Structure 1
Amino acid sequence: MMIMTDTIYDVAVIGAGPAGMTAALYCGRANMSTILFGNIFDSQLAKAGSVENYPGFDSIQGIELVEKFHSQLGRYNVMQVPALISRVTHEGDTFTLVTENGEFKTNSIILATGSRYRQLNIPGEKEFSYKGVSYCAVCDGSFYKGKTVALLGHGDQAAKSAIYLAGLCREVIILSPKPERESVTYAEQLDAMPNIQIVLSSKVLAIEGDQYVERLRYTVKNGPEQVLKVDGVFIEGGTPNSVLAKEIGLDVDEKGNVAVDRPDMHTKIDGVFAAGDVTGGIHQISKAVGEGACAAVSAALYIKKKKSKK
């Protein structure tokens, strides 16, 4: 069913993760007509297991936290459309958002499309997701205090995660597919950590265990198969969902992160703001929530200024 409407919303929030839902909540509370695009149950938070690093909760399931965010939105007349944006056009100071369900017009946009994990699609990865396989060292590192973990990845992102984990774990083994170390920035810190081991030119064949991860099988330079006993596996290298941002014409860095002016979360296009994982930095719920709030306040000021000129 196609929805055609003459309504021009004050703000459209694209993305229904923590950043997007927070932005929509703040916009609704500011008495702005607000529309939120995205499936709240398709975010990384919704698919996460136990969350133990979000203020106010000793432990809460990701889906439960999403539902709490969602229930708040219902109080402020936020229009929710569980659809993807296929195209955004810009005429004058009004944006048109095209979806499979119809077209929607808005005076401002908050882009909160998040990021996606780098899945390796190796045997056992999906089966042991959140049962020993993690995609976020900062989120889940504390579960492996005093234990041995493998980190699959390379470059600065993997190095930063390994250094963080080394402060918690008994041993961190980096399995890199590259023949040489790539992180010049963190080379000295890596060398200074006696509990970090780096295995270059490695290829992981499978992640195995009973109910939880117990070991992984790998080769080095296509040599004989080896078995590494580990308590957990971290896969690093997520990428921001910035395809739509590029199509809109926003600036992105070499990693695909949307360029913003912090703390106001302005982008290069007037009336377009961005927040959360898509802007880079640490991928944490608290960071996404904070940026969503900042983007919403900036959007409210933008709309207020725009209406005052009419």
Structure 2
Amino acid sequence: MHQSPASQSLFHERGSKRRYRSVFISDAHLGTRGCRAEFLADFLRGVECEHLYLVGDIVDGWRLKKTWYWDAHHDEVLRLIMKLARSGTAVTYIPGNHDEIFRSWLGLEVAGVKLALQAVHTAADGRSFLVMHGDEFDSVVRYYRFLALLGDSAYTMALGLNRWFNGLRRKLGYPYWSLSQWLKRQVKEAVKAIDRFETALAAEARRHGHHGVICGHIHHAEMRDIGGIAYMNDGDWVESCTALVEHADGRFELLDWAAELRMSHSLPPLPAPEPRLSLPA
């Protein structure tokens, strides 16, 4: 079938797709202007997998309640997920705090996508991993919802600055680079909070007898050993544009999609100029 240039990806230009046993993505925050939906769509076009885990905050219900934003790239991301489900990929959606509205659908299967609060993933080498969004272990979200919403507003402002900054970089011929992520890593308290979060998630996996935990929520892609427990965070598609993948032998790897596009001197198409005013079917 003929494809327009806007629908082609880096992989299609190479004439092949990457095949993984499992793919984990989270924190796309579809419905926000900060979402790098064009990067995520480009990634999804070029992969095939047996298992796809959507590890929360795929759609940002908090933001959509305040301001409606939805463009063609957001549509394309959902279409590609549905296409994977129809092609035989086992798709599991674990809602996060920003798409918590879907937690009322837990246990259902919608268009081939199973909804669950948590999942247990058995890797090819037999290891078991607890898969969860992770907001349950964020004390701000869990106990102080007002502060979480206030922080969300400040974060949205930072992402707006990031969008303006990268728009200028693109006009000057420079690749994407996350200013908002760099700013977050300069705040010592944020670094400490990330460490506490990672330690708590690893302890939860140990408590349930698993070899590791796979999560999202804090927009910080990471793979590290914490007291013999494998902690893996697949990152996000707002700042880092990262995904966690499992190879056929059970080996896990973090993919930095923005970096791969920079190295290949390829960029996905720019976002559509005007948002669409209707949800995709």
Fold agreement, TM-score > 0.5: no
Higher RCO (C-alpha 8 Å, min separation 6): 2
TM-score by length of structure 1 reads 0.27
The structure with the largest strand share of the pair is 1
The structure with the largest helix share of the pair is 2
Higher Cα Rg, which structure: 1
